[in-house]
A and B are shown apart, each in its own frame.
Chain A
């Protein structure tokens, strides 16, 4: 401890520079993690709000909601638990004269279903051609009472309420009932049990019997992973993060090794005085842990600061347990990096100090 810290204090420039390098690595790790979280949330937030356990889709739909075509009557194949139909339409939300225009994920379920979001202003859907919008859309200028178009038709619906902001497939959501969405999609059947839906969401329902009738059950986790682009994005960003751990390890390892080679005569002197390999290694470890801590803490601070001034459109979210874990991983990488010099330190012969 004493030796390691004293040396850092005396060689401030050298150790500040390396802390700086670690700071940059930590910063990139945290920024990538924040972006990965932001993208992840942007894709799945609406699904998380459902608090559901599983989703039933058409078994030929390759596990994606938009590709799944079912009828409301398919619900009868599931046991009698809370089950809600779900339909989706990705499109633009625009005012009559195209004054406001934005991409949304329009979701539809039955009017009294557990998937319907909690209305915070206005009222729940109680009639035909009504729409609830996410608070994020309200901030863009859409408001209760407004007539808006969804998708490419000229059919208009009326905004009747808003709910806490959430997103699906990186677009703010809007909710309506199944019939209205089918009407907006210009489908032939917009009433009754033979209407189209994309799937069924449930908290605990199971298949009634062995004949699944063309349905496939997906856990919510699988369902989220199959959101188009979701797993590819997460995999890319996470791979970059894992590589950065290796790079941090390599940088600390190489730097500590070069310093160890440089300091061989000094370590020889220490050994002559009875200060052994373990003490020298403890000093190296102290130094790499101190540098890693400085880099990680500053990197975290800068990340949090940047998150405050980031444009709202940038998907970015801080997940503290995860950031803590990544911080620990960086710390571990620097400990391992320092330990790479162990053999070299152990092999230093005190006699070299005697010249």
Chain B
């Protein structure tokens, strides 16, 4: 394997100053290669979401470097970071990240509009049926269950064919069989389509398919597997 798709070097993130300062991440090192499915586990408040947002360029670290395909994210303009986020990163948020006034299918159509291409009907149909969403394709987010919304978010992230998918507890509102399904789906995506997928979870049972597992505790990141 050559360069990692995503590498974080000596990342520290501090919130606030003085007495009230919180060190959410302490000199964290991380790397992921195409075709890898990586899990990050850790208790609540340990810094998992902070890590993902820094990896996606949504927050800048207090110190350290984020490298995407070998180039430093910090050195890029806001505009190219935005384009990069849109093209290369699929983000699945901890809470639902759907647009309330678009139906499930329209969420996908929007992605195509923004990418200046026509609607990829077949791809949409396939992805929706793989995540058992065919029935709700024309529903609005407020008409869906929490699990359905979470799956739509996953479809949306996969739909744009990004090279990296960052998923913050993608199974948080799913029952166990569904959770296992979704994780299988992400693992397939990584292994069969050479995607780099990072999944944050606190459910130990879901990390069986993962190639690499990192543990975060109090901002300190250690590789487990």
Contacts and interface: CB of A to CB of B under 8 A. Distances in A.
B66 to A, nearest CB: 15
Nearest to B115: A274
Nearest to A279: B114
B85 A274 contact: yes
B89 A274 contact: yes
A227 interface: no
A351 interface: yes
A320 to B, nearest CB: 37
B14 to A, nearest CB: 15
Given A269-B97, A279-B114, A355-B95, A274 B58 contact: no
A306 interface: no
Given A3-B110, A354-B58, A273 B101 contact: no
Contacts of A351: 53, 58-59
A6 B101 contact: yes
A273 B91 contact: yes
A194 B52 CA distance: 100
Most chain B CB within 10 A, of A7, A273, A351, is at: A273
A350 B58 CA distance: 6
Contact of A272 (B91, B113, B140): B91
Given A2-B110, A269-B93, A354-B58, A274 B86 contact: yes
A275 interface: yes
B109 A273 contact: no
A272 B58 contact: yes
A6 B58 CA distance: 27
B101 A7 contact: yes
Contacts of A6: 101-102, 106
A273 B58 contact: no
B113 A273 contact: no
B49 A273 contact: no
A271 B53 CA distance: 12
Contacts of A11: 101
B137 to A, nearest CB: 16
Contacts of A279: 114
B100 A266 contact: yes
A266 B59 contact: no
Contacts of B94: 354-355
A270 interface: yes
Interface string B159-192: 0000000001000000000000000000000000
Interface residues of A, number: 22
Interface residues on B, range: 20 to 34
A276 B82 contact: yes
Interface in A323-355: 350-351, 353-355
A210 interface: no
A353 B93 contact: yes
B99 interface: yes
A261 B112 CA distance: 27
A197 B139 CA distance: 82
B27 interface: no
B93 A274 contact: no
Nearest to A269: B97
B165 to A, nearest CB: 12
Contact of A275 (B58, B89, B93, B114): B114
Contacts of A271: 82
B82 A272 contact: no
A183 to B, nearest CB: 78
Contact of A354 (B93, B109, B113): B93
Nearest to A263: B100
A271 B86 CA distance: 9
Nearest to B58: A350
A2 B97 contact: no
Contacts of B58: 272, 350-351, 354
A10 interface: yes
B13 to A, nearest CB: 11
B131 to A, nearest CB: 18
B121 interface: no
A10 B139 CA distance: 12
B132 interface: no
Contacts of A266: 99-100
B87 interface: yes
A275 B156 CA distance: 14
Nearest to B79: A276
Interface string A266-301: 100111111110010000000000000000000000
14 contacts: A2-B109, A3-B99, A6-B101, A7-B101, A11-B101, A269-B93, A272-B58, A272-B85, A272-B97, A273-B85, A273-B91, A274-B83, A351-B53, A355-B94
Given A270-B99, A354-B168, 12 more contacts: A9-B101, A10-B140, A269-B93, A269-B98, A269-B99, A271-B82, A272-B97, A273-B91, A354-B53, A354-B58, A354-B93, A355-B94
Interface of B: 49, 53, 56, 58-59, 79, 82-87, 89, 91, 93-95, 97-102, 106, 109-110, 113-114, 140, 156, 168
In the A-B complex, the 4 residue pairs with the smallest Cβ-Cβ separation, listed nearest first, are A274-B86, A10-B101, A274-B85, A7-B101
